[in-house]
């Protein structure tokens, strides 16, 4: 089992409040991802769950037991950091075994667990190498393996992929997804990469300046954001925000238009302007149109398109997909 409950959890460094009252229930086996801008408190919250950081007030429960006063090694957790923090003088096998050795586990158990983890993470042929003889991706897999062999109730990951190059990041992301499927363990994972969050999470926790803005499945956050912050954070390119009046909406302050819900046309659009910039990504094309009142509006189209910078277009918007926000940025949901 590996449930986690946070009850009104707070953290201050001196007189600076960093975590400002977080409540969260994580189910056994769930993959939970904390996302949010740099400095919003993701790592601090994770370190508090791990016991590497004191909790100023509130309670943290793992499997129903309050762990606030327990040191990290008594919490049943294993943490994987952005920097792999491997011992350079130990082999891969040595690094993966160390925690279990220190805990006095029998040699046969250690060997068995290391063998299973090495197979799972495709590290079998590297077991006798030292970290300096491995690529970044392999080192990170060793760090993950070191966590796996401990069979924790809770895996904690702090941006494990951000030191890897783009291709390796995708591969390792798929491996972590496969690992979660195989182990069925509870995982709490911090990233500022929304693609990682969308592709890995059962539920995403969107943090902003020490408070939770919204918790939901990736598609809940995409289709039903609670406010402008979440709407702007989930989705790439970002949602466009324009004065609601410009797109014919009277009962809201701001209209949110996802780039993929806008098409370019020669007439019939509520907004229009000149193309100021185009990003050709092959599979998709992002077009930025400078509209007089609405400012720069991003449009995302599938496939390749040969539009020219400087050419004039109108923007046709799917009205049924416009998001409405009030003056405070809170979402106004239409009653069905």
Ligand X SMILES: Nc1ncnc2c1ncn2[C@@H]1O[C@H](COP(=O)(O)OP(=O)(O)OP(=O)(O)O)[C@@H](O)[C@H]1O
Minimum gap (Å) between residue 37 Cβ and ligand X: 7
Minimum gap (Å) between residue 82 Cβ and ligand X: 8
Q: How far apart are CA 80 and CA 148, in angstroms?
A: 10
Q: Is 171 helix (H, G, I), strand (E, B) or coil?
A: helix
Nearer to ligand X among residue 82 and residue 97 (C-beta): 82
Q: Which does 13 bind (CB under 5 to 8 A by kind): Mg ion, ligand X, none?
A: ligand X
User: Rounded to 5 degrees, what are φ and ψ at 135?
Assistant: -75, 170
Q: Which does 41 bind (CB under 5 to 8 A by kind): Mg ion, ligand X, none?
A: ligand X
Minimum gap (Å) between residue 195 Cβ and ligand X: 15
Q: How far apart are CA 148 and CA 155, in angstroms?
A: 8
Count of residues that bind Mg ion according to CB under 5 A: 1
Q: Report the candidate in 267, 315, 269 with the shortest Cα–Cα distance to residue 290.
A: 315
Q: Which does 44 bind (CB under 5 to 8 A by kind): ligand X, Mg ion, none?
A: ligand X
Cross-strand pairs, 189 = 33, 157
Q: Which does 39 bind (CB under 5 to 8 A by kind): ligand X, Mg ion, none?
A: ligand X
Contact between 43 and Mg ion (CB under 5 A)? yes
Q: What is the DSSP letter of 320?
A: G
Residues forming contacts to ligand X in the complex (CB under 6 A) are 13, 16, 18, 36, 38-44, 192
In sequence order, the 6+-apart residues with CB closer than 8 A to the CB of 283 are 302, 303
Interior/surface letters 33-57, b for 16+ CB within 10 angstroms, e for the rest: bbbbeeebbbbbbbbbbbbebebee
Nearer to ligand X among residue 14 and residue 88 (C-beta): 14
Nearer to Mg ion among residue 207 and residue 315 (C-beta): 207
Minimum gap (Å) between residue 35 Cβ and ligand X: 9
Residues of this chain that interact with Mg ion (CB under 5 A) are 43
């Amino acid at each position: 089992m590996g449930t986690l409950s946070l009850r009104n959890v707070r953290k201050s460094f001196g007189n600076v409040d960093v975590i400002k009252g977080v409540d969260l229930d994580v189910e056994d086996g769930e993959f939970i991802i904390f996302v949010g801008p740099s400095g919003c408190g993701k790592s601090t919250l994770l370190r508090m769950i791990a016991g590497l950081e004191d909790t100023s007030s509130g309670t943290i429960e793992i499997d129903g037991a309050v762990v606030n006063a327990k040191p990290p090694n008594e919490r049943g957790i294993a943490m994987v950091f952005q920097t792999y923090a491997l011992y350079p003088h130990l082999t891969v096998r040595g690094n993966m075994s160390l925690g279990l050795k220190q805990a006095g586990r029998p040699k046969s158990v250690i060997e068995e667990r290391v063998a299973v983890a090495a197979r799972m993470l495709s590290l079998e042929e590297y077991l006798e190498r030292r970290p300096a003889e491995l690529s970044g991706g392999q080192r990170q897999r060793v760090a993950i393996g070191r966590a796996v062999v401990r069979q924790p109730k809770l895996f904690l990951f702090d941006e494990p992929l951000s030191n890897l190059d783009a291709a390796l990041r995708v591969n390792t992301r798929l491996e972590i997804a496969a690992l979660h499927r195989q182990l069925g363990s509870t995982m709490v994972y911090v990233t500022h990469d929304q693609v990682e969050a969308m592709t890995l999470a059962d539920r995403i926790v969107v943090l902003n300046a020490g408070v939770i803005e919204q918790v939901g499945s990736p598609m809940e956050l995409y289709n039903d954001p609670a406010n402008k912050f979440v709407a702007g954070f989930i989705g790439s390119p970002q949602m466009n925000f324009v004065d609601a009046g410009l797109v014919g909406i009277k009962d809201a302050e701001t209209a949110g238009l996802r780039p993929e819900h806008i098409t370019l046309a020669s007439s019939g659009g509520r907004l229009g302007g000149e193309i100021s910039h185009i990003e050709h990504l092959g599979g998709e094309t992002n077009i930025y149109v400078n509209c007089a009142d609405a400012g720069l509006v991003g449009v995302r189209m599938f496939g390749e398109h040969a539009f020219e910078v400087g050419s004039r277009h109108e923007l046709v918007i799917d009205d049924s997909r416009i998001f409405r926000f009030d003056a405070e940025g809170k979402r106004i949901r239409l009653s069905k």
